[in-house]
Structure 1
Amino acid sequence: MISQEELYQYLAKEQWEELLDILYKHKEQIKNDALLNHAAKTFETEFLRKTQGYDKSRVEIIKYLEKFILLHHGGFYKLTDENYKILVIEIVKRKKLKEANDYATLLPNEEICKKVISEYNFFKIKEEGFKLKQTNKLPMNWIEIYNRLFELINNQGDPATYFSGPRFIDTVRQYEPYFPDYAQFINQRNIEGKSTTRKIFYYDILLGLSDEVRIKVVNRILEILKPFSKDKVLEIENIIEDRKPISKPEPELISDSRRPIVFISYSWDNEQHKKWVLDLADKLCADGIDVILDRYYLKPGASLPHFVEDNLNKADRVIIIFTPNYKLKADKRAGGVGYEYSIMNVELYKNQTSNEKIIPILREGSAEQSIPTFMQQFIHIDTRNDENFLNSYNDLIREIYNEPEIKKPIIGTKPLFG
């Protein structure tokens, strides 16, 4: 048990590490005791106020700040919104550019965070170049569409419709804000020995954008051109519309570019549990889902943090298989489970009201025994009864493909009353 007086004694001596340990170890007592909760809030405010005055050479301070943010994201201690903002900004100020950028993305609208994100993206462009990638999701007659579009934007005698290099790239930057500006892009093309002819590099840019951004850029250009070349714009729009994919009868063969990507997070409880998870992953693969499972990819010497961060970001959905051992490791932030859970908690914190990514599965124990407190607010799929597995699996596969079993009917019209 901890007393209010002890908290204030630690506070007076600025024993920050001890106070942070107390917030974690005595979280339930602090939550349920009004006096302790008040003392904890006093520590929260005082710590952040004094932190802002500490010299950046005090390397231990960043350790305390990061521990505080983990407590918050892990649901062990809830900071006020204002103090959370102060905490993130203070970490951003003290971290080197790459790590500062990771934290800045938590508050992208704050001025200092905007500045760090912009600097980091400029650094990446300078060091690595903007990575354009060839896409697989193009209309069959994309070359015809592009040639028609370029013909309309290539009339140098018409300033309303002519798209110079800077104007074209500025249009792209409306939807891809960290795309290099015109001077940066041309310099990069020259370094790479690639053509700076407008028709060629416009084409390369559009092909290298994500499908969503490319569509927005093309539609924006067509919107600008329409008042001046309505008939020709309509021809392009009709070609695009004619090439929409035709729905196929079930079962549908899914192209690689449209397969849902699912990351599975679980603990290695025992051989039986590992086999159950592997069987689940194999079954999902057979049903057209690209599964990321550690046992498929990780080999001795591989970097676990790199594997987790890279693939959690890549995944469309994340399946967490909860057992008592998973909860124990998640709460202690132990091993791979602890690392995965810390990253996923940040995602959930940012989207508490609309979790569209994480699918909780209860495999063993009760919800209280197996699911960390913060995650208990989300509806889980119960797979504890093996005899009912197919029903549970059906719920899971429908959720991944966003094909609910029960759909709300179309709202009809008001009936006539006699």
Structure 2
Amino acid sequence: MINQEDLYQLLYNEQWTEILNLLYKEKQHIKNDVLLSFASKTFEAEFLNKVKNYDNSRIDITNNLSKLYLLHHGNFHQLTDENYKTLILEIVKRKPLEEAYQYAITFPDEDICKKIISDFNFLIIKKEGYKLRQPNKTPQNWIEIYNRLFEVINNQSDTATYFSGPRFIDTIRQYEPFFPDYPQFINQRNFEGKSTSRKIFYYDILLGLREDIRVKVITRILEIVKPFEKEKVIAIENIIDNKIPEVKIEKISSIYNNKPNVFISYSWDNKEHKNWVLNLANKLCSDGINVILDRYYLKPGKNLTHFVEENLSQVDRVIVIFTKNYKLKADKRTGGVGYEYSIMNVELYNNQTSNEKIIPILREGTKEESIPTFMQQFIHIDTRNDENFENSYIDLIREIYNEPEIKKPKIGEKPIF
């Protein structure tokens, strides 16, 4: 019967195949013996540490890695999560491409796995090609739709709206994940002797997609560029056959005629921050203020872009709650925060000296860390200290109601001398 000394002797001599055979044959014995279990874990760590230094051409090492993989999945020897990942990456390095791909998809975000997946997809495309479909239904006014769309996304001087080849294809891959990446697609076009002019191959791609995918891609592109080219995008939307219906939101000003309407812009940093914002909104509502907060109105299936655009344009005040994450999203123009900030920036640029709409609130970090550069010029309300929250809240509510604590006295008459 095996004992831990036998296992350590094999380990010392790097007799990996013999150890793996024992892990298979002596599964129950090892499981019931604490010292043997510890020795098997020592083997696991030592083998995966040393294997990194073995030449990738060694067939015996590749075979042993495959055996360890089978032992893990057969519940003969359970690897730790970290060691399992190391095992997969080592196998990926050593296996032929088509076999390596089957392992690489386990950890697709690792650099070596990304390369294997990309190389495998290119191999398939080279063998078979990615076949764009022949459309069985060309959308009404398709050529006009496409020409208008390309005009919007072809301004290379505008990084917000310009869609380079890689950016365009990355958008396609959001809805068609096995579509070739940009280098693969260009190689395929060259191989087929087809044009690599962006206007031509964008057209070919969109028309060759399944109809529902094409609609999703065009809709997504329009959502991205709409904040910057609103009129042009609306013109395109008006001629699209299957125009996405807008979410109808009642005009808040008609519902709450005598109440201040306030929109809260914030980032979903974490559960604690979301709850803090929700509690602030609830408290403002209890003090007679109609608060427009996404968590009050938005449900699955609702149109976030329309919600933001419709409400930001009609509220009396906008409360912006600044955190480090808010600044990051605002600067990169990502998500709902990026869209809200883009709209607010237009308002601020037009009224730099008389900002009467936006109320900045600093919730976390320093001004430089959490407030986008352009907005740092405006006086903010500091809510970072929860113990002083009530005083900050009074400052906020006075600002909303335009009831300052200190009022300039009425100018009297000139004294009689």
TM-score of the pair, normalised by structure 1: 0.47
TM-score of the pair, normalised by structure 2: 0.47
RCO greater where, 1 or 2, for CA within 8 Å and sep 6 or more?
A: 1
